[in-house]
Amino acid sequence: MRYVEAGRSGNLLNRVVGWLTGRGLSLWGSQLVAVRGRKSGEWRTNPVNPLTMDGERYLVAPRGHTQWVRNLRAAEGRGELRLGSRVEPFTAVEVPDEGKPQILRAYLERWKFEVGLFFEGLDHHSSDADLLRVASGYPVFRLTSARYEAAS
């Protein structure tokens, strides 16, 4: 399973972006994904860039099978998106690899400047075949607002 450590500069950047996002200042659309830890049960947060495409929202993990991804799987897709005091509960369904190329392309078109180094030379001009070749290393989740589910 592909997992890229954030490193010192990445950890520092995540802390700064997380701190600002937690106080309501979104940088380039950033939000915090909050998921209960699979061992501790405590809320864990990480800055993410939700993608809206064709009326659907997605979370992409550019560093691979990270802790927030593992926690989200263990929490059966239940989590929250946070921006300042605004909290939106969601449920997530993992997208199969064959459904990822268009989503990865849109994600790279929107955020390549920020996450491109994790995509090993790929960008939004990459072929479907190239994106499908690496898809298993980039978890993608389709989000549904839990508020809408409760109303249905």
Q: Where are the beta strands (DSSP E) in the chain?
A: 31-36, 43-48, 51-53, 56-60, 78-83, 86-94, 140-145
Residue 33 near residue 81, CB atoms below 8 Å: yes
Boundaries of every domain in the chain? 7-151
> pLDDT (tens digit, 9 = 90+) per residue, 100-151?
999 999 999 998 888 878 888 899 999 999 999 999 999 999 999 876 444 4
**CATH H-level superfamily of 7-151:** Electron Transport, Fmn-binding Protein; Chain A (2.30.110.10)
Which structure tokens are listed for 82?
Answer: 């946070």
The verdict on pTM exceeding 0.95 is no
Return the amino acid letter for 15.
R
d(CA 24, CA 16): 13
- Pairing mode, strands 51-53 and 140-145: unpaired
d(CA 141, CA 137): 13
| Residue 49, SS3 per DSSP | coil
**Which of 52, 40, 33, 152 minimizes the C-alpha distance to 107?**
52
Question: How many CB atoms within 10 Å of residue 93?
Answer: 11
Residue 11: predicted pLDDT: 65
Give 43's strand partners: 36
From the DSSP assignment, how many helices (H) and strands (E) are in the chain? 5, 7
- Give the position of tokens 């897709």: 77
> pLDDT (tens digit, 9 = 90+) per residue, 38-80?
999 999 999 999 999 999 999 999 999 999 999 999 999 999 9
Residue 151: predicted pLDDT: 43
Residues, the chain: 152
